[in-house]
Structure 1
């Protein structure tokens, strides 16, 4: 989606009042808040104050997206091409009803959302994307990254977990330095092994996979020998480790919410996968991702 230099809509008086109220509370979950209780000449009883609720606005008014080909809607509309209008995060396609559309309405999404994801992006590129997102001064930033770190030519080429952590931490610092109040919604990395298991039922899909799509998982799709099985298991373990990093780093930020593994756990079927590569989400799959995100962003509590 091209960059839009559009100012945010003026907030309503109620929204502004709610924001002031939230900012008036302690930001850290460990802080306390409450009114003073006094008795005859006594000072307030601070020990009885209730703990402050974590800061999370369930109705953000602008959305910026960072990530990889899934957020760019790759292969959702046509073969080997980005289709940002079908993006689960910021797209405007009516059949998808992206997170931005569900939060802001169609016109609001068109004016107040930005897609800085890049097809082929890995976690090392996330700090740069975060810097671009921060310039939009968004209320919410969505993150979906990591599949390309696991989709390499071989298991040796997978991004080390320590490097993955360092890049994600750097991306969060980049955002916080420029947009300290922006909320962050972090999607788990999809279950690549389940996508392999689902997509390998398509002869056309397997032919496309031979062009080099995620060879660490999809290469020699019908090979069930010990070496191939071990290779896929190693990729699966790495994806699980990446999701652990996303969860742990996000948990340290009061304005970050991880999806609790919801995308990893989602059982994509052929109906949700792109008809051109049987790996990326098609429009139906993008809509399912949007549903998951909207449910988690607007929930009173973060996913367990």
Structure 2
């Protein structure tokens, strides 16, 4: 009786020992599969927090006339309520409204763009926008650097780069963790080719809208063709600078050239000047921006 009891206890101990070995093996395999080390006793590595937040809670816009909704509502006037970035128009569905809702956008979005602004003005706009402590800053600027009285007056590419880098340094000094969305500059030559079909538009162009591209709108001689080609090339060079400078900042994201590539038709152009975006054009810009900002990866 006593001997039998002893053998039974030993058998149970052997069974428990075997089970312990099996459990240890299973746990060890699980630790290895999770990225830990069975030998070092390491634990699984935590999932890193993404640098880019696809749902920022406040938006500040900087830039030029496009972001001010210029000529979208009335001739030669700003119309910020239809701005692609911060407007409250239901027809547009601005980036701010799409991200924050209409009530949220009303209290947590700000438009510091200025009609006629060039890249040299961006640092000052950024300084003003930074006072709101926005989580996202939108940038659309550069068209006016190409839209000068002549091609010789266009901002040199190297200078354009220096000015954008200065604006980014200013932003980072004030807002080290803010996200930045940078829109590409539209294809100005395409806007010319579409808008020149309107007699009214060409009359408005004579008031001084982008003379380097739109001047002598119907001229197709060698000099006019060469002038427009120079403006078009400068816009491409500017867009390359925007992409390169943005890429050097881990919290900066561009549209990947989507605005430049967008084929604006007469329905997306202002019926006042046939050059700036119409309300519908502003809505297209808002949609492009929203896709870029909410994409999981840039």
TM-score (ref. length: structure 1): 0.84
Equivalent residues in 2 for 1:24-63 (5 A)? 37-40=36-39, 42=40, 44=42, 55-63=51-59
TM-score (ref. length: structure 2): 0.86
The aligned residue for residue 206 of structure 2 is: 210
Q: 1:67-100 CA deviation, whole Å, 9 max, x = no partner?
A: 0000000011111110111100000011111000
Is 1:125 the counterpart of 2:124? The answer is no
Equivalent-residue separation in structure 1 for 2:52 and 2:76 (angstroms): 37
Shift of 1:36: 6.5
Equivalent-residue separation in structure 2 for 1:52 and 1:237 (angstroms): 41
The aligned residue for residue 17 of structure 1 is: none
On the 8 A contact 2:62/2:129 being kept in 1, the answer is yes
The aligned residue for residue 137 of structure 1 is: 133
The aligned residue for residue 225 of structure 1 is: 221
Unaligned runs of 5+ in 1: 1-34
Equivalent-residue separation in structure 2 for 1:265 and 1:52 (angstroms): 34
Equivalent-residue separation in structure 1 for 2:201 and 2:129 (angstroms): 34
Larger Rg: 2
On the 8 A contact 1:259/1:293 being kept in 2, the answer is yes
Unaligned runs of 5+ in 2: 1-33
Match of 1:234 among 194, 208, 230: 230
The aligned residue for residue 116 of structure 1 is: 112
Match of 1:92 among 82, 88, 91: 88
Provide the secondary structure at the position in 2 that maps to 1:292. Answer: helix
Provide the secondary structure at the position in 2 that maps to 1:65. Answer: strand
Provide the secondary structure at the position in 1 that maps to 2:238. Answer: helix
| Matched residues, number | 265
Match of 1:173 among 144, 163, 169: 169
Provide the secondary structure at the position in 1 that maps to 2:62. Answer: strand
The aligned residue for residue 20 of structure 1 is: none
Higher helix share: 2
On the 8 A contact 1:54/1:254 being kept in 2, the answer is no
Q: 1:152-189 CA deviation, whole Å, 9 max, x = no partner?
A: 00000000001100010011111110111100000000
Provide the secondary structure at the position in 2 that maps to 1:64. Answer: strand
Q: 1:267-299 CA deviation, whole Å, 9 max, x = no partner?
A: 001101001000000101000000000011111
The aligned residue for residue 265 of structure 2 is: 269
On the 8 A contact 1:63/1:140 being kept in 2, the answer is yes
Equivalent-residue separation in structure 2 for 1:96 and 1:205 (angstroms): 23
Equivalent-residue separation in structure 1 for 2:215 and 2:137 (angstroms): 33
Provide the secondary structure at the position in 1 that maps to 2:72. Answer: coil
Is 1:278 the counterpart of 2:274? The answer is yes
Is 1:293 the counterpart of 2:289? The answer is yes
Q: Are residues 189 and 51 of structure 1, via their aligned partners in 2, closer, same or farther at CA, if it must alter by over 3 Å?
A: farther
Shift of 1:39: 2.5
Q: 1:49-71 CA deviation, whole Å, 9 max, x = no partner?
A: 79957510000110000000000
Equivalent-residue separation in structure 1 for 2:280 and 2:260 (angstroms): 17
Equivalent-residue separation in structure 2 for 1:51 and 1:257 (angstroms): 22
Equivalent-residue separation in structure 1 for 2:297 and 2:248 (angstroms): 16
Equivalent-residue separation in structure 1 for 2:66 and 2:133 (angstroms): 23
RMSD over aligned Cα, in angstroms?
1.7
Runs of 4+ off more than 2 Å: 42-45, 48-54
